[in-house]
Amino acid sequence: MRLLTYNIHKGIGGRDRLYRLPRIIEVIKNENPDLICLQEVDRGVPRSGLNDQPKMLAEQFFSAGCTFQLNVRLKKGGYGNLLLARWTFTERHSISLGLPGKKARGAQLGIVDSPEGSFRFINLHLGLGEQERHQQISHLLSHHLFRRSQDLPTLIAGDTNDWRNTLAEADLASHGFEHCTHPISRFRTFPAYLPVGSLDKIFCTPGIRIVNVRVVRTKAAKIASDHLPLVVDFHCR
Over the chain (237 residues), the average pLDDT of each successive run of 10 is 98 96 98 97 98 96 90 97 96 95 95 95 97 96 96 98 91 94 96 97 97 98 98 94
Neighbours of 195 (CB within 10 A): 18
Please check whether residue 28 is in contact with residue 229, taking contact to mean a CB–CB distance below 8 angstroms. Answer: yes
Please check whether residue 133 is in contact with residue 90, taking contact to mean a CB–CB distance below 8 angstroms. Answer: no
- Give the pLDDT confidence score for residue 231 in this predicted structure: 98
- How far is residue 21's CA from residue 43's CA, in Å, rounded to a whole number? 12
- Give the pLDDT confidence score for residue 170 in this predicted structure: 78
- Give the pLDDT confidence score for residue 206 in this predicted structure: 95
Whether the model clears a pTM of 0.95, i.e. scores above it, the answer is yes
63 Cβ contact list (under 8 Å, min separation 6) = none
